[in-house]
Amino acid sequence: MAQKDLYKILGVSKSATQAEIKKAFKKTAMKYHPDRNADDPTAQDKFKEAQMAYEILKDEQKRQMYDQYGFDAVSGQGGRGPGGFGGGFQGDVGDIFGDIFSDIFGGSSRRRQGPQRGRDVQIEMTVELEEAIQGISKEINIPTMVSCDPCHGTGSKDGKTSTCSTCGGIGQVRMQQGMFSVQQTCPDCHGKGQNISNPCGHCGGQGRRKENTRLNVKIPAGVDQGDRIRLSGKGEAGPQGGPAGDLYVDINVLPHKIFVRDGDHLYCEMPIDFATACLGGEILVPTLTGEVKLKVPTETQSGKQFRLRGKGVKSIRSHSVGDLHCKVIVETPINLSSEQKDLIKQLDETIKDSGDKNNPKKKGWFDNVKSFLDKMTG
């Protein structure tokens, strides 16, 4: 075999650590894996080279021999030192690389421990804003896989099981794929290591069956749109006595006619009449605990926002309480009588006679408009 630079094959320096060598080998092996390079005839040779380089460099004794005497010392051609490969590299990839190839193939060579867990279930629950803020218990009906009562979830009519003859009870079988030998889940027992000779007639040997399940779900006070509640062990039952998965309840809060929620704060708009906006007064504002009085100062402009501290939502994650932000909207009166229109005209005349002191924003706005037009046309 020709002289080879094993470090160059893996793309590492001569001073590379074992962790760096292992990482480089995984990357190279995945890059040149024959199954991923069916159209590249050179991929298999490059993969074998990476295999050989890693097998030597991962062994400190062989690596020292290679560094001191070169490739012949560890290839079996020079006849020096222990660990020569007798003319070339041979071996069972599945045995040699263990956890490395379990990472590459996405599997595991370990035996399954215990029965398989049931799947998680996800549902959406729609609640009113009041229910989300105050908390509520709701009963739901969901179709899911539950443990079979007649066989107590075992799947066996008589409670007996037998060791799987295909895998010998290990739950895994070794499959030869060309030059590779990898472990896979047993196709007969599906990794359980046991088979049922007398299946339960109610569940067909699965240990579970589909039923509508009624559950009482407690929604804690303060939940918000998008929050998720986890009910441990309330998902699907596992096959043949396996533990149940979890139930996840996603909260959907309906839009409210008065309030808009943002975190722990509430926002609302309150219409006020023209006279109250001009002269000031008191208005009643709805809150979660009843109506409260809000003092509106004189000459309040439409869109003015007032904050009522501590009138928002109590946080589900702490003891703090948000605020209520109330924006007043001055409502223009409609359906006016002739007499009312005359009175407004009289008021308008008196305001115009007083100049710009009653409408300071109007004057400033028109001044800005004039300046803008002059720049555009000048």
Residue 114 lies in a domain: no
Same domain, 131 and 249: yes
Give kind and range of the element (H or E) at residue 211.
Answer: strand 208-219
Residue 50 lies in a domain: yes
CATH of the domain at 138: 2.10.230.10
Same domain, 247 and 265: no
Predicted confidence band of residue 67 (pLDDT cuts 50, 70, 90): confident
Indicate if the pLDDT at residue 205 is higher than 80. no
Do residues 36 and 83 make contact, with C-beta atoms less than 8 angstroms apart?
Answer: no
In percent, how much of the chain has pLDDT > 70? 85
Do residues 275 and 148 make contact, with C-beta atoms less than 8 angstroms apart?
Answer: no
Same domain, 162 and 55: no
CATH of the domain at 296: 2.60.260.20
Predicted confidence band of residue 220 (pLDDT cuts 50, 70, 90): very high
What is the DSSP-derived secondary structure letter of residue 199?
A: B
Which pTM was predicted?
A: 0.56
Do residues 57 and 19 make contact, with C-beta atoms less than 8 angstroms apart?
Answer: no
Residue 286 lies in a domain: yes
Q: Which residue has better confidence, 183 or 11?
A: 11
| Domain boundary pick from 226, 253, 280 | 253
Hey, what are 195's tokens? 């088979």
Indicate if the pLDDT at residue 89 is higher than 50. no
d(CA 351, CA 357) in angstroms, rounded, equals 9
Over residues 88-107, mean pLDDT? 43
Q: How far, rounded to the nearest angstrom, does the alpha carbon of residue 67 sit from its chain's CA centroid?
A: 49
Residue 1 lies in a domain: no
Same domain, 285 and 225: no
Length of the chain: 378
The pLDDT of residue 362: 77
Q: Which residue has better confidence, 215 or 160?
A: 215
**Average pLDDT value for the chain:** 81
Same domain, 268 and 234: no
d(CA 45, CA 68) in angstroms, rounded, equals 26
pLDDT tens-digit readout, 5-64: 899 999 999 889 998 998 899 888 888 877 677 678 788 888 888 888 888 998 888 888
Do residues 146 and 213 make contact, with C-beta atoms less than 8 angstroms apart?
Answer: yes
Give me the number of domains the chain comprises. Answer: 4
Predicted confidence band of residue 376 (pLDDT cuts 50, 70, 90): confident
| Domain boundary pick from 213, 238, 253 | 253
Same domain, 208 and 141: yes
Burial readout 303-331 (b: 16 or more C-beta within 10 A, e: otherwise): ebebebeebbbbeeeeeebbbbbbebebe
The pLDDT of residue 93: 42
The pLDDT of residue 200: 84
The pLDDT of residue 112: 46
Residue 112 lies in a domain: no
Do residues 282 and 273 make contact, with C-beta atoms less than 8 angstroms apart?
Answer: no
Same domain, 272 and 209: no
Do residues 9 and 47 make contact, with C-beta atoms less than 8 angstroms apart?
Answer: no
Helix (H, G, I), strand (E, B) or coil at 216: strand
Same domain, 224 and 196: yes
Give kind and range of the element (H or E) at residue 125.
Answer: strand 121-127
In percent, how much of the chain has pLDDT > 90? 35
Residue-number span of the structural domain to which 22 is assigned: 6-90
Predicted confidence band of residue 302 (pLDDT cuts 50, 70, 90): very high
Over residues 275-302, mean pLDDT? 93
The pLDDT of residue 281: 94
d(CA 25, CA 11) in angstroms, rounded, equals 9
Candidates 138, 135, 136, 126; CA nearest to 314 is 135
Same domain, 280 and 354: no
Residue 130 lies in a domain: yes
| Domain boundary pick from 210, 231, 253 | 253
pLDDT tens-digit readout, 105-143: 444 444 444 567 888 989 999 999 999 999 999 998 888
Q: Which residue type sits at 116?
A: Q
CATH of the domain at 25: 1.10.287.110
Strand partners, 231: 247
Q: Which residue has better confidence, 36 or 268?
A: 268
Predicted confidence band of residue 322 (pLDDT cuts 50, 70, 90): very high
Q: Which residue has better confidence, 38 or 256?
A: 256
The pLDDT of residue 79: 36
Indicate if the pLDDT at residue 267 is higher than 60. yes
The pLDDT of residue 308: 96
Same domain, 239 and 217: yes
Same domain, 271 and 321: yes
Residue 150 lies in a domain: yes
In whole angstroms, how far apart are CA 125 and each of 43, 217, 288? 53, 10, 22
Residue 108 lies in a domain: no
Same domain, 284 and 318: yes
The pLDDT of residue 195: 77
